[in-house]
Amino acid sequence: MTMMTRDEALTRLTGPGEPYELAIRKINGRTLKVFVNAPQSLREMFADAATDATFLVYEEERLSFAETQRRAACLGQLMIDQYRIGKGDRVAISMRNYPEWVVAFMATTYIGAIAVAMNALWSPEEMHFGLTDCGARMLFADQERLDRLAQCPPLPDLEVMAVRATRLPARVPDLAAVLAVRSETEMPAVAVDGDDAATIFYTSGSTGHPKGVVSTHRNILTALLSWELDLAANALATGVTPPQLPRQPAALLAVPLFHATGSHAVYLQSYRAQRKMVSMYRWDPELAAGLIEKERITSVTAPAAMTGDLIRVARVTGHDLSSLLTVGGGGAPRAPEQVRQIESAFDQALPNTGWGMTETNAIGTGIGGPDYLAHPASSGRCSAVLELRVVDEQGRDLPAGERGELLVRGTSMFQGYWNRPEVNAEVFVDGDWFRTGDVAYLDDEGYLYIVDRIKDLIIRGGENIGCGQVEAALLMHPHVHEAAVYAVPDDRLGEEVGATVYGSEELDLDALRVFLHEHLARFEVPRHIQVSPVPLPRTASGKVFKRQLRDEVAASLPPAATAGEKAE
């Protein structure tokens, strides 16, 4: 195979008549690069993939693509007939990574409704906010989420369907029981267009409540085909083709489906690839290693904290992990040293990663294999369907090597935040360029380097935590007068939640933590809380001087204090 540059490879693969042909289209006022041969909707992609190959594996349960589709068809018809769910209605999904998550998502998007992927770690208050904010007509929830829903104010217009519940609430049907008595049916005939809204994923912001990211079928499908295009371009550019596998490819689903990494990079990519997806209830590195060996897993995609766990397990256990071909990143940056450790810890697995956001449907830039080993601090080069800019505070483009705010636009970009026109007006500039809030630079070859964040955001093991939301919960406590929340470096999770508070003499840290667990998800509760005997320091503009507080706390921690905790 003749080697060529990446740009030459992309030009060849996206030309007229090629499977990944790109054409310029005007869609909703935006000039976009569109995959000519892409499925028109997720509905079409699901139908095309309905084979007898194994699709879902969860503990002892196994479902083929066709069996999963049949269950989704029954559920979709039920949603129309009994619950009058129609196009554009919001259907929330809140549960562990059970097969029912996938079935509910398929059924919802099949009938043109909008799947709302709710953060399963939310507190009852956050859960209630999400359901009311999106105006959910229906909710699929497991026992943990049903228990939290019971602590919320009543939502009389919400239909609830229980999944794997051990204590069914009154008048809440069990999904398995409902489907068991229904005969098989074809998927309801509903016209679904590529530019219909398909999903809402909630993402934490720097202040206030989470925001609902609205994406269309086209946005999501563009992201999926972009990953395929990048793989094909890499093969052309390097002259190295992926090995012919003796068995079905398989992915480990170790991250939540309510994150774009889990839903897009692991789950939705499995349809066109006819890839088996092995789901875990919660992250356990030793169990993961056992599943990789048993199911002959070929790819793992997870935040740096989890892939770091896997590296450590690989070094000390006798599990055979030789089936792994790729160990991908997502959700948080990976330290350059871990990039090199992946290459040395596994027989043939190569590392890959990228930069993306929920708002971009998880794509943006990508890098892998020898290219990643040569540029371990980079997030890679831009997708063919997106454009990147780095600008100064006045919005002027900066030359290569200079740091500024990263802007992005293109076909996979979300449509806007649900019911937040004032925020949309702030984040979209110059027509359709999205302000990411990331400080970055591009080098002379187009490699992206993320160096900081403008947004006041903590990324704990790939989980976005808005500082403002945690501060608001702290300030709800009657003995807290001032509060500042910031990221504290953590060896395993990348960042942990730190806080400094100033309050009355009656302030008790143990009582404060109990209070916070009632108002925040467990991962949002600060691990490090410092009590200041004096009011918090402020800058000349009157803002709390968070950098000083963060540095003081980080300096006071012994090395062992940043070792992190076992992930759930």
pLDDT in tens, 195-250: 999 999 998 755 568 999 999 999 999 999 999 999 999 889 888 777 788 899 99
Distance in angstroms (rounded) separating the CA atoms of residues 421 and 278: 39
Instruction: Give the residue carrying structure tokens 């099949």.
Output: 110
Q: Which two tokens stand for residue 243?
A: 């090995």
Residue 560 has pLDDT above 50, yes or no: no
Angle separating helix axes 304-316 and 336-345, nearest 10 degrees:
40
**Strand-pair category, 299-301 with 350-356:** unpaired
Which residues have a Cβ under 8 Å from the Cβ of 244 and sit 6 or more positions away?
A: none
pLDDT band at 371 (very low <50, low <70, confident <90, very high): confident
- State residue 542's pLDDT score: 57
Which of 16, 8, 28, 42 lies closest to 432 in space, CA to CA?
Answer: 28
Which of 77, 81, 80 lies closest to 69 in space, CA to CA?
Answer: 77
Average pLDDT, rounded, for the chain: 90
- State residue 563's pLDDT score: 38
Q: Give per-residue pLDDT as tens, 532-555.
A: 999 888 765 456 888 889 888 888
Cβ atoms of 280 and 378 within 8 Å: the answer is no
Helix (H) or strand (E) run with residue 43 in it: helix 42-48
Q: What is the DSSP string of 68-96?
A: HHHHHHHHHHHHHHTT---TT-EEEEESS
Q: What is the mean pLDDT of residues 457-462?
A: 86
Count the neighbouring beta carbons within 10 Å of the beta carbon of residue 299: 23
Phi and psi, residue 186, nearest 5°: -75, 155
Helix (H) or strand (E) run with residue 272 in it: helix 269-273
pLDDT band at 564 (very low <50, low <70, confident <90, very high): very low
Q: How far apart are the first and last CA of the chain?
A: 45
Count the neighbouring beta carbons within 10 Å of the beta carbon of residue 121: 18
- For residue 9, the cross-strand partners are none
Residue 174 has pLDDT above 60, yes or no: yes
Q: Which two tokens stand for residue 502?
A: 């100033």
Q: Which two tokens stand for residue 175?
A: 């999904």
Q: Which two tokens stand for residue 131?
A: 């359901």
- State residue 561's pLDDT score: 42
- Output the CA–CA distances (angstroms, integers) from residue 337 to 226, 351, 372, in the order listed: 28, 12, 12
Q: Give per-residue pLDDT as tens, 108-162.
A: 999 999 999 999 999 999 999 999 999 999 999 999 999 999 999 999 999 999 9
Cβ atoms of 416 and 399 within 8 Å: the answer is no
User: Nearest-5° angle of CA 283, CA 375, CA 330?
Assistant: 25
Lowest mean per-residue pLDDT among 7-11, 87-91, 230-234, 301-305: 301-305
Helix (H) or strand (E) run with residue 421 in it: helix 421-427
**Residue bearing the bigger pLDDT, 317 or 20:** 20
- State residue 328's pLDDT score: 85
As a dihedral over the C-alpha atoms of residue 174, residue 178, residue 179, residue 181, rounded to 10 degrees, the angle is: 140
The pTM (predicted TM-score) of the whole model is: 0.86
- State residue 532's pLDDT score: 93
- State residue 337's pLDDT score: 65
Q: Give per-residue pLDDT as tens, 283-333.
A: 999 999 999 999 999 999 988 778 878 888 888 888 888 899 988 876 556
Q: Which two tokens stand for residue 431?
A: 């027509």
Distance in angstroms (rounded) separating the CA atoms of residues 54 and 159: 32
Distance in angstroms (rounded) separating the CA atoms of residues 410 and 324: 32
- Domains, in order of start, for the chain: 6-37+215-453 (3.40.50.12780), 42-203 (3.40.50.980), 459-562 (3.30.300.30)
Most confident option among 451-455, 516-520, 549-553 = 516-520
Cβ atoms of 412 and 226 within 8 Å: the answer is yes
In 260-377 the beta strands, taken as DSSP E runs, fall at 276-279, 299-301, 326-328, 350-356, 364-368
DSSP-based three-state secondary structure for 417: strand
522-556 burial, b for 16+ CB within 10 Å, e for fewer? ebbbbbbbbebeeebeeeeeeebebebbbeebbee
Cβ atoms of 352 and 329 within 8 Å: the answer is yes
Q: What is the DSSP string of 485-534?
A: EEEEEETTTEEEEEEEEEE-TT--HHHHHHHHHHHS-GGGS-SEEEE-SS
Q: Which two tokens stand for residue 3?
A: 């080697």
